[in-house]
């Protein structure tokens, strides 16, 4: 009977195809002629019971389709799963709309995570947010499903740097998790809540939530989750200036991601390990990490991480004084980031282009890039890029022999450096301040600042070299290491 049914279906499809009522693409998938689709829809609408059954069957078919592809999205078979979901995306969107309208809570919960991973990897943040917002408005009666949906909504908003939306969604989810036993979902929510807390300048809460997340993922044995939580922990360690601890967290995160063959999960640790290699002056190693990250990002058509890897590669070429190659990387990343409307990373590219112009003594061009970057960074609330732009502007003003403007820009940078609680940002600001003091003939103020930059473990190697060269060029000695804390120096300069 089954064989007869299959044969009959094949014959029917063949007859429709011969009459041009069906189309078949290169992958072998059939598509209705639009007139036929419209006619069938009108006929179906005349029988509400059959229409409801047809919509439900269609929706549940794609729930099953997504459920089968969830594990491949996080392990072996990732690229194929992404391509297959992409082919059926319009069907999936229609199915989701029906499930939400009819309040099929269990079916929504079953397919939501696959949609989340697809939208994350393919940088389709706004589409995902729209789908999850649509569901969140209807699911108050399904608290477990709602918490999951809010987590995904908040996570995508975090990627889009829509911080208020992110905070509202994640906080609602965390409140629900206090009464529900959903450790894996809660752990994922905590990872993103950690990232948001750090972005909101609350490193203590960020670390607390990251450690809670890691504990939950370890308890449930979720390797994918452990890799992600360790990546977040490494990021927090790095921003706190604890280089060795951050490196170990990233290496462990990367190894877990490789063990489960999740190529997307490997990209983050690769990028941050490359950053650390740059910080330590190991540029060849950094380039290797970034190139592997770029290869994986392009293969998965991950636009966000492709842009990120190109920025990082550009920074590596810049540090190696390969300015033309750096410019090409920055320009290519900017096109991608504009397409996906990533304001934060666009601002970082403009800041980097401003630095590149400074290195080539193109001061007017540096000011133009830095002002564009400052506007974008302010809009995106990207503290790192804002600070770099102010420093670039001050450096460019010094290059133009305009000490008054240099001082004005520096006055904007210092409070931001103090508020950041990030050693790398503080040290970068002190390097510039030390150079500024030397140009004003205030060597007694410059020497201790440049000495701190040289001796501090969180200083980027290229900045350490610049501090040494500045002192050497001025005929000044490198001071011995001081016990004065970085934070105390910054606060003294602020006063």
For residue range 327-358, list pLDDT tens digits in order.
Answer: 999 999 999 999 998 999 999 999 999 999 99
Q: Residue 431: which of 408, 449, 417, 415 has the closest Cα?
A: 449
Query: Is 11 within a domain?
Result: no
Query: Is 96 within a domain?
Result: yes
Residue 159 sits in the same domain as residue 88: yes
Query: Is 12 within a domain?
Result: no
Domain that holds residue 163: 18-180
Label residue 5 by pLDDT band (50, 70, 90): very low
Residue 29 sits in the same domain as residue 100: yes
| pLDDT value at residue 284 | 93
Residue 45 sits in the same domain as residue 161: yes
Of the residues 137, 157, 180, which one is the last residue of a structural domain? 180
The residue with greater pLDDT, 41 or 292, is: 292
Q: What is the CATH number of the domain that holds 238?
A: 1.25.40
Residue 171 sits in the same domain as residue 63: yes
Chain mean pLDDT for the chain: 90
- Does the pLDDT value for residue 19 go beyond 60? no
Residue 133 sits in the same domain as residue 201: no
- Does the pLDDT value for residue 400 go beyond 50? yes
| pLDDT value at residue 43 | 61
Of the residues 257, 275, 304, which one is the last residue of a structural domain? 257
Predicted model pTM:
0.84
Residue 316 sits in the same domain as residue 207: no
**Rounded Cα distance, 239 and 328, in Å:** 28
Residue 227 sits in the same domain as residue 152: no
Q: What is the CATH number of the domain that holds 385?
A: 1.25.40.10
Largest CA distance in the chain: 95
Q: What is the pLDDT of residues 245-289, one digit of tens each?
A: 999 999 999 999 999 999 999 999 999 999 999 888 899 999 999
**Rounded Cα distance, 77 and 74, in Å:** 8
Residue 115 sits in the same domain as residue 226: no
| pLDDT value at residue 487 | 80
Label residue 446 by pLDDT band (50, 70, 90): very high
**Rounded Cα distance, 430 and 253, in Å:** 33
Lowest mean pLDDT among 19-28, 164-173, 375-384, 437-446: 19-28
Q: Residue 275: which of 409, 139, 422 has the closest Cα?
A: 422
- Contact between residue 139 and residue 169 where contact means Cβ atoms under 8 Å apart: no
Q: What is the pLDDT of residues 416-429, one digit of tens each?
A: 988 887 888 889 89
- Does the pLDDT value for residue 1 go beyond 50? no
Of the residues 356, 380, 412, which one is the last residue of a structural domain? 412
Tokens 């059959």 correspond to what residue? 50
- Considering only CA atoms, give the Rg of the chain: 27
Q: What percent of the chain has pLDDT over 70?
A: 90
Chain centroid offset of residue 108 CA: 26
Residue 112 sits in the same domain as residue 62: yes
Q: What's the burial of 267, exposed, middle or buried (CB within 10 Å: 0-12/13-18/19+)?
A: buried
Residue 350 sits in the same domain as residue 458: no
The residue with greater pLDDT, 215 or 384, is: 215
- The count of domains in the chain is 5
92-to-29, 67, 70, 84 alpha-carbon distances in Å: 16, 12, 14, 11
Q: What is the pLDDT of residues 180-192, one digit of tens each?
A: 999 999 999 999 9
**Rounded Cα distance, 346 and 161, in Å:** 12
User: How is residue 336 written in tokens?
Assistant: 């991608």
- Contact between residue 311 and residue 349 where contact means Cβ atoms under 8 Å apart: yes
Query: Is 216 within a domain?
Result: yes
Lowest mean pLDDT among 1-15, 91-105, 149-163: 1-15
Residue 80 sits in the same domain as residue 120: yes
Label residue 6 by pLDDT band (50, 70, 90): very low
Length in residues, the chain = 495
- Contact between residue 425 and residue 384 where contact means Cβ atoms under 8 Å apart: yes
| pLDDT value at residue 4 | 40
Query: Is 157 within a domain?
Result: yes
Query: Is 337 within a domain?
Result: no
Query: Is 91 within a domain?
Result: yes
- Does the pLDDT value for residue 165 go beyond 50? yes
Q: What's the burial of 127, exposed, middle or buried (CB within 10 Å: 0-12/13-18/19+)?
A: middle
Residue 283 sits in the same domain as residue 306: yes
Query: Is 3 within a domain?
Result: no
């Amino acid at each position: 009977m089954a064989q007869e049914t299959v044969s009959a279906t094949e014959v029917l499809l063949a007859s429709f195809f011969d009459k041009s009522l069906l189309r078949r693409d290169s992958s072998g998938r059939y598509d209705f002629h639009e007139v036929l689709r419209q006619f069938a829809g009108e006929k179906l609408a005349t029988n509400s019971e059959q229409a409801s059954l047809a919509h439900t069957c269609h929706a549940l078919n794609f729930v099953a389709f997504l459920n089968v592809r969830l594990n491949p999205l996080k392990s072996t078979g990732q690229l194929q799963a992404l391509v297959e979901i992409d082919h059926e995306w319009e069907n999936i969107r229609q199915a989701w709309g029906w499930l939400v309208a009819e309040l099929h809570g269990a079916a929504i919960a079953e397919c939501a995570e696959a949609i989340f991973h697809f939208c994350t990897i393919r940088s389709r943040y706004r589409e995902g947010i729209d789908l999850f917002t649509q569901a969140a408005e209807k699911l108050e009666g399904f608290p477990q499903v709602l918490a999951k949906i809010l987590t995904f909504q908040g996570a995508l908003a975090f990627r889009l740097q829509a911080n208020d939306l992110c905070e509202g969604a994640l906080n609602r989810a965390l409140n629900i998790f206090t009464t529900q036993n959903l450790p894996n979902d809660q752990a994922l929510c905590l990872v993103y809540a950690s990232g948001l807390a750090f972005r909101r300048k609350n490193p203590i809460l960020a670390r607390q939530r990251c450690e809670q997340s890691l504990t939950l993922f370890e308890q449930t044995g979720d390797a994918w989750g452990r890799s992600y939580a360790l990546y977040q922990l490494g990021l927090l360690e790095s921003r706190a200036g604890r280089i060795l601890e951050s490196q170990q967290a990233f290496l462990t995160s990367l190894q877990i991601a490789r063990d489960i063959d999740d190529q997307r999960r490997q990209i983050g640790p690769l990028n941050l390990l490359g950053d650390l290699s740059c910080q330590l002056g190991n540029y060849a190693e950094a380039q290797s990490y970034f190139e592997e990250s770029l290869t994986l990002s392009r293969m998965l058509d991950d636009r966000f991480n492709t842009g990120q890897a190109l920025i990082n590669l550009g920074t590596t070429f810049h540090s190696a004084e390969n300015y033309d190659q750096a410019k090409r990387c920055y320009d290519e990343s900017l096109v991608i980031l504009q397409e996906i409307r990533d304001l934060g990373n666009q601002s970082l590219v403009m800041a980097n282009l401003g630095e590149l112009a400074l290195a080539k003594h193109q001061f007017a061009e540096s000011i133009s890039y830095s002002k564009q970057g400052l506007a974008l960074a302010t809009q995106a609330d990207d503290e790192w890029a804002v600070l770099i732009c102010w420093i670039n502007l001050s450096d460019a003003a010094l290059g133009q022999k305009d000490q008054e403007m240099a001082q004005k820009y520096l006055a904007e940078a210092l409070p931001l450096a103090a508020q950041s609680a990030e050693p790398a940002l503080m040290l970068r600001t002190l390097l510039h301040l030390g150079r500024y003091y030397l140009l004003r003939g205030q060597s007694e103020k410059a020497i201790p600042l440049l000495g701190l930059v040289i001796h501090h473990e969180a200083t980027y190697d290229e900045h350490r070299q610049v501090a040494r060269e500045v002192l050497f060029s001025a005929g000044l000695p490198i001071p011995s290491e001081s016990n004065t804390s970085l934070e105390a120096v910054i606060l003294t300069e602020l006063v």
